[in-house]
A and B are shown apart, each in its own frame.
Chain A
């Protein structure tokens, strides 16, 4: 069996195996280490030796073996080991809730977002520490430390290995969605090419959200999140040019968009919106769908998009939403109306200048547009974005023969 097929299988089995082992031994921390070791052993042997008859059982056995060794070597745990020695090995009872329990645990609000992301990718995603470290461009030791701190935190907070109580559930689910969305963005906002590993993070976020959606098909926001990821990711092939430069939505070659993903995303969000009382992810997905179904940029239903941003703005105090609403306003009512709204916003970083530059360019105020493109380029911390902004300014300078710096 080829190595990548084995890897896919291992990643699918990882949360199931961890669920069985953690539930049985009531020690998430040690179980997670043992399962990780079992996965590494399988990844080493299966591609050459072939699959065992029961891969899942093999992994459970291997993890239990390591866990027993671990307990045996810890004197403090002697009593526990004795108890375990007299119990039969854990039955391989599939528990459909295990993935969900694990997601709730790894995305616990007591963890910092960075720790929750790392732990989720390892315990639920079945990625190795080295792979996660590679994706985040930090040394493996640093990522290992982040994961063990996260586990120590969970242990200290005494979070039980079961589904949260009904009253707590929605708030906890919100953390799960948020962490998955962060993983997706971590992969999406980086460019292709040199950061190949990071784009894989988006794929992993989609896979995990799909898993969550299968477990909770009636949760409108989970459905919305999955739709949002699919619709956003569908544009990836058109989003960067041959040398990794950013191509803005309006200039993208829509023939390169992933149609199958757009169809799936649109179907999901349409269904989820029918349920009423739409939340943030559903609304964001609706906006992404409006872009996705427009055959040409001039076919975009900006009126619909503006209406959705208004709803979204009522739900969140995120200034980026207001900024996007200003851009949608400009597309419906003209750049002056958009600029007027931007003037009321306060937002650090480069986004405000970039939006202003864009609308000023639309309004034909070249000199001011150049000034704001320059300001945005100086403030962004993203290389492809900086190149895009600089090129935009350079293009305007060339066409208008204005050189503000030279004057």
Chain B
């Protein structure tokens, strides 16, 4: 078994450039149902370690410190056309193939009109034995 983190980003590189707030309500509903069903599947298979969505970049802060003077805290990031983390899953699976399969499913989450958004999902193996 190995753990993988599947990172989902807001990205220009999807089939859907409409912000979710502007989708028809039933499509938002379908999207949320899809995410719940995916989490339920992972839980049912005994593969889910953690899954979280992150609050938007509007409330994000970035901290930089040299460990001596007071840290510099800035609002954002507000990247332009750059990828920004939206949420993640941590799964514990038999193989990399299975992690990729889950990522593919997540990427095909339905958008407006039920069309898959094709959101890019980054698949990263979690290092074992944190010392």
Does B125 lie within 8 Å of A244, measured CB to CB?
no
CB <8 Å contact, B43 and A145 = yes
Interface residues of B in 85-107 (CB under 8 A from A): 92, 94
Bound-state CA distance A244–B127 (Å) is: 15
Q: Give the contacts of B49-93 with A (CB-CB under 8 A).
A: 49-50, 92
B46 touches A381 (CB 8 A): no
B49 near A142 with CB under 8 A, answer: yes
Q: How far is the CA of A190 from the CA of B47 in the complex (A)?
A: 20
Name the A residues within 8 Å of B126 (CB-CB).
381
Query: Which one of A14-22, A29-37, A191-199 contacts B?
Result: A191-199
* A384 & B131 in contact (Cβ 8 Å cutoff): yes
8 Å CB contacts to B: which residues of A162-189? 189
Closest partner residue, chain B, to A381 (CB atom): B125
Chain B residue with the shortest CB-CB distance to A193: B131
Chain B residues, CB < 8 A from A195: 129-131
Partner-binding segment picked from A87-95, A133-141, A209-217, A295-303: A133-141
CA distance in complex: A191, B129 (Å): 6
Residues of A within 8 A of B3 (CB): 137
Q: Is the CB of B129 within 8 A of A382?
A: yes
Complex CA gap A113/B125 in Å reads 19
Q: Which residues of A are found within 8 Å of B50, using beta-carbon distances?
A: 139
Q: Residue among B43, B48, B130 with the most chain A CB within 10 A? A: B130
* Chain A residue, CB-CB nearest to B46: A146
In the complex, the answer to whether B45 meets A381 with C-beta atoms within 8 Å is: no
Residues of A within 8 A of B129 (CB): 189-191, 194-195, 198, 382-384
Are A194 and B125 in contact, with the CB atoms below 8 A?
Answer: no
Q: Which residues from chain B contact A112 at a C-beta distance below 8 Å?
A: 94
Q: List 25 A-B contacts (CB under 8 A).
A: A113-B94, A114-B46, A136-B92, A137-B49, A138-B92, A139-B48, A139-B49, A142-B46, A142-B47, A142-B49, A145-B43, A145-B46, A147-B46, A149-B44, A189-B129, A190-B128, A190-B129, A191-B131, A194-B129, A381-B126, A382-B127, A382-B129, A383-B127, A383-B128, A384-B131
Taking Cβ atoms with an 8 Å cutoff, the residues of A that contact B are 112-115, 136-139, 141-143, 145-147, 149, 189-191, 193-195, 198, 243-244, 381-384, 386-387
Binding site for A on B (CB under 8 A): 1-3, 43-50, 92, 94, 125-131
